[in-house]
Amino acid sequence: MERFDLIIVGGGAGGFAAATKASELGAKAVIINSGLPIGGTCVNVGCVPSKVLLEIGNEYYLPQHPRFEAVRNGHSATFDFEAAIREKNGMVDFLRESNYIKVAEGLAGLTIIEGRGKFISPKQVEVNGQMLATDKFIIATGSRPRILPFKGIDDVHYITSREALSLSRLPKSMIVIGAGPLGLELAQIYARFGTRITVLQRGNQILTWSEPEVAEELQRCLEAEGILINTQAHVEMLREEGNMRVVDAKVGSNLQTFKAEELLMATGVVPNTEDMGLELAGVEVTRDGFVQVNGELQTSVPHIWAAGDVVGKPFLETIAAKEGYTAASNALEGTNKAIDYDSVPKAVFTDPQVASVGLTEEEFMKRYNFCSCRTLEIAQVPKAQAIKETRGLVKMTIHPETQVIVGVHMVAPMAADLIHEATLAVKFKLTIDNIIDTVHVFPTISEAFKRVAQSFTRDISKMSCCVE
Ligand SMILES: Cc1cc2nc3c(=O)[nH]c(=O)nc-3n(C[C@H](O)[C@H](O)[C@H](O)COP(=O)(O)OP(=O)(O)OC[C@H]3O[C@@H](n4cnc5c(N)ncnc54)[C@H](O)[C@@H]3O)c2cc1C
């Protein structure tokens, strides 16, 4: 039986970050991976393919919709869906090779085994009939799309985000069930490619976790480009009619029927924790199957840690990687590191993008029972006016007594890039005066952040754009 210093089950972002830390510490580690190719969700069926296709959609759509009158009729591009999928596949292959396979080759002490890992005791894992043993484990097996047990689900053809990123033919119409980040990104990808999109969202707003103002503004922008969005839509029944998928849903109090060529389930994720012998190791999971961990990512078994989607914190590549690295440090160095999830930024890569960090107004109210917030429309930023790109808004929440910034939530072009100033503010507990006192480049959309900070103490609608 081969022994290792660290056994990592799962070869995605979490597993790789853990392996990197193990290698830095001179440990003998093994990654066991199966299911998705090495690199896991992000590079193969997640961040990378979705962002490539989003950008292809933007390149095709935006020149056809110029903002300036001087550019008449837009530019008439042609679009080849099969080429888009090929181009996306090429980028996935390239980044898997450069960011994972080549990186792994350079990590001293690391072995990768292709196969399904299964605990057979608290200190032993079996893979391909081979037994491996260690005193330290990290579970980083990720998640996969969740399929809700809608009536008729077994008799209807549907796709998940995985198939949606690799369709062989551009559908004329698509129903997207679920208006979270993945559902909305895929909705816009296909809408911009030319597919007629209908989104069905059970909750009162799209992006249920976001500030309502942000969700409302994004919905307005998506609808303005022809995406049909139904909130408060409760799916009653799925069925097929010829080549069409049919969804009967109660929207508000009206029963409505939606038909489309493709039906995309974007209803969240479930953890990959079944059939891997967690009960034999003594690792406890939540009711939904996520591995239970403490603040230091340690499971109910002290020598087993877990990281990434499988622990059910924000489902982000960056979090999986940070957790993997932290878990490996805690496991191998005996540290007690924890992650501050309050200052983790997240983004939705629609156009305009959504990005947020820290608490929403409602979350702050729940914790402290008082709050101070301001919302600024991007249209109030000089750069936005100059370039005629006025979609979006930014909402800032501060502690009313200390004026420390506790949350920033925005919808704006390039919001995913803009959020980092806010991230530093939340992480390092900056006040609105710290931001106001910082000279920002004029004219930039980043000035939105300074302007919203200024709006706590003055009426910015009466300010010249150049006043401090
Ligand atoms: C469409 C889409 C778009 C996304 N876009 C973004 C984005 O823009 N930005 C962002 O930050 N995040 C994004 N995410 C989320 C991000 O991809 C995930 O949060 C992240 O990749 C999770 O990494 P992980 O290491 O926890 O799991 P994974 O990357 O899923 O890796 C787990 C690996 O373990 C394997 N495995 C499972 N069980 C076993 C077993 N028993 N034995 C061996 N191997 C096993 C799996 O097959 C997989 O290869 C996106 C996700 C999707 C689906």
Of 391, 50, 16, residue with least CA distance to 187 = 50
Alpha-carbon span 319 to 328, nearest angstrom: 14
The amino acid at residue 413 is P
- The residue contributing the CA closest to ligand 1 atom 21 is 42
8 Å CB contact between 162 and 269: no
The rounded Å distance from CA 223 to ligand 1 centre is 30
- The residue contributing the CA closest to ligand 1 atom 48 is 40
Is residue 170 left, alpha or beta, with left meaning phi > 0 and alpha meaning psi from -120 to 50?
Answer: beta
Alpha-carbon span 147 to 274, nearest angstrom: 16
Out of 41, 126, 339, give the residue to mutate to test ligand 1, the one with the largest number of ligand atoms within 8 Å of its CB.
41
Tens digits of pLDDT across the chain (468 residues): 899 999 999 999 999 999 999 999 999 999 999 999 999 999 999 999 999 999 999 999 998 999 998 887 667 788 999 999 999 999 999 999 999 999 999 999 999 999 999 999 999 999 999 999 999 999 999 999 999 999 999 999 999 999 999 999 999 999 999 999 999 999 999 999 999 999 999 999 999 999 999 999 999 999 999 999 999 999 999 999 999 999 999 998 999 999 999 999 999 999 999 999 999 999 999 999 999 999 999 999 999 999 999 999 999 999 999 999 999 999 999 999 999 999 999 999 999 999 999 999 999 999 888 889 999 999 999 999 999 999 999 999 999 999 999 999 999 999 999 999 999 999 999 999 999 999 999 999 999 999 999 999 988 777 666 555
Out of 100, 141, 182, give the residue to mutate to test ligand 1, the one with the largest number of ligand atoms within 8 Å of its CB.
141
- The residue contributing the CA closest to ligand 1 atom 8 is 47
CA 321 to ligand 1: nearest atom: 25
Helices (H), 254-381: 278-281, 317-333, 361-368
Check if 416 has its Cβ closer than 6 Å to any atom of ligand 1.
Answer: no
Alpha-carbon span 462 to 468, nearest angstrom: 13
- The residue contributing the CA closest to ligand 1 atom 50 is 46
Check if 320 has its Cβ closer than 6 Å to any atom of ligand 1.
Answer: yes
The rounded Å distance from CA 315 to ligand 1 centre is 8
8 Å CB contact between 104 and 112: yes
Check if 47 has its Cβ closer than 6 Å to any atom of ligand 1.
Answer: yes
Check if 117 has its Cβ closer than 6 Å to any atom of ligand 1.
Answer: yes
8 Å CB contact between 298 and 305: yes
| Distance set, CA 298 to CA 3, 35, 48, 351 (Å) | 21, 25, 29, 38
Task: Tell me the pTM.
Answer: 0.96
Q: Where are any strands of DSSP class E within 140-232?
A: 143-145, 173-177, 196-200, 228-230
The rounded Å distance from CA 10 to ligand 1 centre is 9
- The residue contributing the CA closest to ligand 1 atom 30 is 142
